[in-house]
Structure 1
Amino acid sequence: MHPFLSLRRLRLKPRMILILGAIAILQTGALGYFAINYLDKVLNEQIGQQAMRVAMAIAATPDVIDAVTEKNTTFLQPLSQKLARAAEARFVVFGDAQGIRLAHPLPARIGRPMADDEGDTNEPALIHGRAYVSEALGSVGWSVRGKAPIFSRDGSTIVGIVSVGYLLDAVEVIVGHHTGSMLLAIGAAFLFSVGTAIWFANHFRKAIFNLEPEQIARMFQERNATLETVREGIVAINQSGHITTFNHAAIKTLELPEDRIYIGRHITEVLPDTGMEEVLAQGQPHFDHDIWLHDHNLIVNRIPLLQDGEVTGVVSSFRLKDEVDLVSRKLTRIRQYAETLRSQAHEYNNKLHTIAGLIQIDAKAEALAVIGQETISHQAFIQQLMGVTSDSVLAGCLLGKYNRAKELGLDLTIDENSQMSDLPEQLPREQLVSILGNLIDNALEATLNHHGQGGTVTLCFSDYGKELIFEVNDQGAGLTPQQADKIFTRGYTTKGQDGHGIGLDLVRSQVTHLGGLITVEPGEPDEAGRLQHCSGSRFTVYLPKHVWHAQTKQGNEDPQ
């Protein structure tokens, strides 16, 4: 089995002990080897320089010059031994101009050439007159010696040579002593590395929740797969505000380019108005916030990541608000539809029984009249719609709400002076339909709860001037000033039931995004003209036309 695969089978602590221990041994061993060799080289150089300086000093002594010139071995032999002891050298050897020994630690070698057993021709000193250092195996063993030429009294002639040698045994002893110290240092470094590895492994495992690296890698892969399978957009940033997570759902929801890399970029470069930096600074989570981002209405949650009480990042998840509101409306209106269908079934059964009875008594004209009453008002409303607006989306929305009102037993009427034919092409129809749809639904529900069947919701439109104006009047219970101040707050409702308080908040958010304004005020006063006893409420939406007309004009310009 490969050693690396065997190492991966170990747990984190023994793995780190082995790795750090091996690194310590390799590092200290390499440094020790370099230090020992460097020390050996430096000591040899220093001893050689010392030997050469001693040799040069001896060669300049007048008595030595005279004795070598006269080849006075009797004088030079005891002098060499005396000088060797004084210089703490292993030997001092004198030779004449031909390199023949005149003095030597071994008297038997006197008179023999110095180059015979020393392996050195002495050429630099005897021929070139230059002092030098050499290392060789001589007659007394391996030594570093310094050699210097001996000149005559007048300095014109080389009359001999002096060699001062130091054995390498002392260098080896010093190097061996330091080698032992280095081995002790390597052992101490290994033990320190083992201790450090144990401490670091314990600390590291605590930081990663006692998980092994392979487990973390597997969880990271699972996390990435999970992020890519969820339908919600998910974005995460670190403590410095740089993006660490940006799943595909976030790119798709915000309609961002898919060929770009978002990981590692600062959040303000990609989403400048996301609000995540606020959570990063304050450490307070945001739940179900309604925001506009990249022209999309989103429901956003932002949660800070805490480690030891410090905010280390923020995770944000979001979905299109239309999807959330759609689910909420469907869930809250199922019961309403069931009640409506039950009442409508009862009402139409009565009408069918009436028609069947008229046919049985052969009153066909009266039966046709009853049937016609069901279609006359519907056709009249369609004709009025065609006169009010030519926009098919707006007309379809109003027609659907008219049918809804009929199902509830209510009337939806349009003021005869209404006109809405100057709708800018660039005005988002889906947002306009959402605004009117929510207002009409609320008006129908308020009218039904307060007035009962037979109540009326009145619409009034105007496209004169610089604004589009939409009014929705209901016959509900009306709003107090305190209720009017809170009516557009998300979650606030006057119905006292769960599942409400969403629609008007959505309306306010969309109107604001379109640059408009929405107001609420009491409806029509009672017969005595008293506003405090007025019936219902009037919601008015003002949308500026010039912004969307400008966009339409710009979009229609020829780019050429």
Structure 2
Amino acid sequence: MTILNRLKLKSRMILILGLMALVQTGLIGLFALHYLQQSLDEQIGQRALHVAKTIAAMPSVVEAVEGGDIRYLQPISLLLAEKTQARFVVIGNINGIRLAHPNPYKIGQSMADDEGDDSAEALVHGKGYISKALGSLGWSMRGKAPIYSEDGHKVVGVISVGYDLNRVAEIIQRYRLTLILVIIGSFVLSALIAVWFANHFKQAIFGLEPEQIARLFEEQKATLGSVREGIIAINAEGKVTTFNPAAVETLGLPEGTQLSGKNIKDVIPDSSLLEVLKSGIPQYDRELWLNDHTFVANRLPMKQGDKITGVVSSFRRKDELDQVSKKLTRIQQYADTLRSQAHEYSNKLHTIAGLIQIGANDEALALIGQESRSHQKLIRLLLDAVPDPILAGCLLGKYNRARELGLRLKIDPESRMTELPDHLPREQLVSILGNLIDNALEATLHSDKAAGEVTLSMSDFGNDLIFEIEDQGPGIDEAEQLRIFEKGVSSKAKEGRGIGLHLVKNLLDNLGGTVTVEPASQLGSRFIVYIPKQREQRSVQAE
């Protein structure tokens, strides 16, 4: 077994298939030879018995046997042996004494003297039979038949007709040579088939050896076990073929539940995996509602050539992703705020230092007071109108960002955003608002007619949260207003544009909200966002 394991898969398959063909052909050959010998023996025996019964029924022979007429029986037995191509025709009387024999010296002697003689069956019981025995003339297949008297009431003698078995041996030898040639041919053909099959099989398993496949299988099991995302794969019949412990845990199933072989509908009703299996179109970052939790899933079809052989899906609870996203959003907000403030106050400090150096102390104090009053006014507005710290931090960061760009972010003092629903993801809200403000700042910055101001108005009256962002940019054509939210579409001819508004549209679709674009009152564009306060009961597709 150790030597076999050292061989490549192709060599193993050629060797094993060749040996199997050799053994199978050899066994079949031995059986064929044995069956052929038995068949030939039986045919020759039946022929000998038929000849013996025919001779025993000849009236002249019956009469000669009853009269003990050796002179008639001896030549007739030789003639009949020649005519029937028999080795011998022996005729005996009721006492088993030979009346005719190919060897004249045997005439008159008892047939019982021959080794293996069994004439009693014919003489005593009056039955014809076939036997293979060694007689005075060697091995032969014999047929013996009783000779009945003319009235048919009693046995008066016996006819023994024998055929030489050497002819049978010659036939067997001829077939044996043929069979050896067939075995050699089968072995060569099996080797060629094994080479073709091994090449086809190796191609199907990507040229891997069995040991490599086993190692990859163990690595796959370890990988699936270490991944925190749930993974489920189905075959073309919709039955689960692969899953990991995280899938069982994420779906809320009992620990140790075996999913292999189960139909995906029995595991996850209304599964979209069957839709991907049918269409072959992958699905990315799809949200689904299952077991009172929201999941984010990716589904990819598995193909072999042009044929879809299955689908694999990875999924994870959305609240885990939201926690990570929330942390990243806060960190980015803090970083933007600190960077903007550092840049802004660095400029102010340089200005104040310059004023003090030239002795303009009153102007320096006035500038310090102005900065303090401006920030205090903004902070009081945010504390009163926007008590949510995440949203307030976002607005403060964008305010400082605008000042860094030499622009002004004006927040309507009548704004009010105190009734933010708990279910509304804050990171999605600030992403929507942040992208729209950044877009407005950039549009205003690149406009020659702009006064450098972006206006934000917020309202939580009624059933919706309403945000209005107005810029002083060049505006958006009506034709472009229908395409501005598509991915990659932007009024700036730069690579990587057209992402922010596309993200805003996707986030609003997820929250059940809408966004409209219209010309501003004087210059630029106004984006109006509506987000419902009540979560809509949407029918979310299951995994």
TM-score tier by shorter-chain length is 0.7 to 0.9
Query: Is the 8 Å Cα contact of residues 300 and 317 (structure 1) preserved in structure 2?
Result: yes
- 2:466 alignment counterpart: 470
- 1:413 alignment counterpart: 411
- 1:456 alignment counterpart: 455
Superposition deviation, residue 482 in structure 1: 2.9
Instruction: Give, as a single letter, the amino acid of the residue that structure 2 aligns with 1:404.
Output: G
Q: Distance in 1 between the 2:53 and 2:528 partners?
A: 116
Q: Distance in 2 between the 1:301 and 1:498 partners?
A: 29
- 2:529 alignment counterpart: 540
User: Given the alignment, which residue of 144, 147, 166 partners 1:147?
Assistant: 144
- 2:392 alignment counterpart: 399
Residue by residue over 1:467-486, the C-alpha shift from the partner in whole angstroms, topping out at 9 and shown as x without a partner, is x3423222241322233122
Q: Distance in 2 between the 1:102 and 1:82 partners?
A: 15
Q: Distance in 1 between the 2:298 and 2:357 partners?
A: 57
- 1:294 alignment counterpart: 288
Q: Check 1:139–1:20 CA distance in 2 against 1; reply closer, same or farther (3 A cut).
A: same
User: Given the alignment, which residue of 42, 53, 67 partners 1:45?
Assistant: 42
**Secondary structure class of the residue paired with 1:547:** coil
- 1:135 alignment counterpart: 132
- 1:217 alignment counterpart: 213
Structure 1 stretch 58-67 or stretch 107-116: which is displaced more? 107-116
Query: Is the 8 Å Cα contact of residues 11 and 212 (structure 1) preserved in structure 2?
Result: no
Query: Is the 8 Å Cα contact of residues 447 and 457 (structure 1) preserved in structure 2?
Result: no
Counterparts of residues 71-220 of structure 1 (less than 5 Å): 71-198=68-195, 211=207, 213=209, 217=213, 220=216
Superposition deviation, residue 306 in structure 1: 7.7
In structure 2, runs of 5+ residues without a counterpart are: none
Superposition deviation, residue 100 in structure 1: 2.8
Structure 1 stretch 430-439 or stretch 266-275: which is displaced more? 266-275
Instruction: Give, as a single letter, the amino acid of the residue that structure 1 aligns with 2:500.
Output: G
Q: Check 1:112–1:196 CA distance in 2 against 1; reply closer, same or farther (3 A cut).
A: same
Identity of aligned residues (%): 34
Superposition deviation, residue 72 in structure 1: 2.5
Instruction: Give, as a single letter, the amino acid of the residue that structure 2 aligns with 1:46.
Output: Q
Counterparts of residues 423-434 of structure 1 (less than 5 Å): 423=421, 431-432=428-429, 434=431
Residue by residue over 1:224-268, the C-alpha shift from the partner in whole angstroms, topping out at 9 and shown as x without a partner, is 489758899999888x58799968699599969695547997899
**Secondary structure class of the residue paired with 1:294:** strand
Superposition deviation, residue 177 in structure 1: 0.6
Q: Check 1:449–1:161 CA distance in 2 against 1; reply closer, same or farther (3 A cut).
A: same
Q: Check 1:404–1:314 CA distance in 2 against 1; reply closer, same or farther (3 A cut).
A: farther
Q: Distance in 2 between the 1:30 and 1:78 partners?
A: 48
**Secondary structure class of the residue paired with 1:345:** helix
Superposition deviation, residue 186 in structure 1: 1.5
Superposition deviation, residue 178 in structure 1: 0.7
Q: Distance in 2 between the 1:493 and 1:325 partners?
A: 28
Query: Is the 8 Å Cα contact of residues 474 and 536 (structure 1) preserved in structure 2?
Result: yes
Query: Is the 8 Å Cα contact of residues 419 and 460 (structure 2) preserved in structure 1?
Result: no
Q: Distance in 2 between the 1:71 and 1:334 partners?
A: 136
Q: Distance in 2 between the 1:227 and 1:241 partners?
A: 25
Superposition deviation, residue 170 in structure 1: 0.9
Structure 1 stretch 21-30 or stretch 511-520: which is displaced more? 511-520
Q: Distance in 2 between the 1:264 and 1:31 partners?
A: 44
Counterparts of residues 379-398 of structure 1 (less than 5 Å): 379-385=380-386, 395-398=388-391
Q: Check 1:342–1:357 CA distance in 2 against 1; reply closer, same or farther (3 A cut).
A: same
Query: Is the 8 Å Cα contact of residues 124 and 130 (structure 1) preserved in structure 2?
Result: yes
How many residues in Structure 1 have an aligned counterpart in Structure 2?
Answer: 515
The two structures have a TM-score, normalised by structure 1, of: 0.73
Instruction: Give, as a single letter, the amino acid of the residue that structure 2 aligns with 1:33.
Output: L
The two structures have a TM-score, normalised by structure 2, of: 0.75
Counterparts of residues 314-325 of structure 1 (less than 5 Å): none
Q: Distance in 2 between the 1:263 and 1:440 partners?
A: 52
Counterparts of residues 324-363 of structure 1 (less than 5 Å): 338=339, 341-347=342-348
Instruction: Give, as a single letter, the amino acid of the residue that structure 2 aligns with 1:458.
Output: S
Q: Check 1:96–1:189 CA distance in 2 against 1; reply closer, same or farther (3 A cut).
A: same
Superposition deviation, residue 142 in structure 1: 1.2
Please provide the CA RMSD for this pair: 5.0
Instruction: Give, as a single letter, the amino acid of the residue that structure 1 aligns with 2:411.
Output: T
Query: Is the 8 Å Cα contact of residues 304 and 315 (structure 1) preserved in structure 2?
Result: yes
Q: Distance in 1 between the 2:118 and 2:326 partners?
A: 105
Structure 1 stretch 506-515 or stretch 168-177: which is displaced more? 506-515
Q: Check 1:511–1:260 CA distance in 2 against 1; reply closer, same or farther (3 A cut).
A: farther
Q: Distance in 2 between the 1:104 and 1:168 partners?
A: 19
Superposition deviation, residue 181 in structure 1: 0.9
Instruction: Give, as a single letter, the amino acid of the residue that structure 2 aligns with 1:190.
Output: F
Counterparts of residues 433-444 of structure 1 (less than 5 Å): 434-444=431-441
**Secondary structure class of the residue paired with 1:135:** strand
Superposition deviation, residue 220 in structure 1: 4.0
Q: Check 1:218–1:357 CA distance in 2 against 1; reply closer, same or farther (3 A cut).
A: farther
Q: Distance in 1 between the 2:479 and 2:510 partners?
A: 25
Ranked by relative contact order (alpha carbons within 8 Å, sequence separation 6 or more), the top structure is 2
**Secondary structure class of the residue paired with 2:471:** coil
Q: Distance in 2 between the 1:253 and 1:452 partners?
A: 57
Residue by residue over 1:394-451, the C-alpha shift from the partner in whole angstroms, topping out at 9 and shown as x without a partner, is x23321222113322344536747577484x666665455444443444455456655
Q: Check 1:458–1:318 CA distance in 2 against 1; reply closer, same or farther (3 A cut).
A: farther
Is 1:5 aligned to residue 2 of structure 2? Answer: yes
Q: Distance in 1 between the 2:214 and 2:528 partners?
A: 56
Q: Distance in 2 between the 1:82 and 1:426 partners?
A: 118
- 2:25 alignment counterpart: 28
Query: Is the 8 Å Cα contact of residues 274 and 293 (structure 1) preserved in structure 2?
Result: no
Query: Is the 8 Å Cα contact of residues 92 and 105 (structure 1) preserved in structure 2?
Result: yes
Q: Check 1:33–1:247 CA distance in 2 against 1; reply closer, same or farther (3 A cut).
A: same
Q: Distance in 1 between the 2:212 and 2:328 partners?
A: 37
- 1:68 alignment counterpart: 65
Superposition deviation, residue 9 in structure 1: 2.7
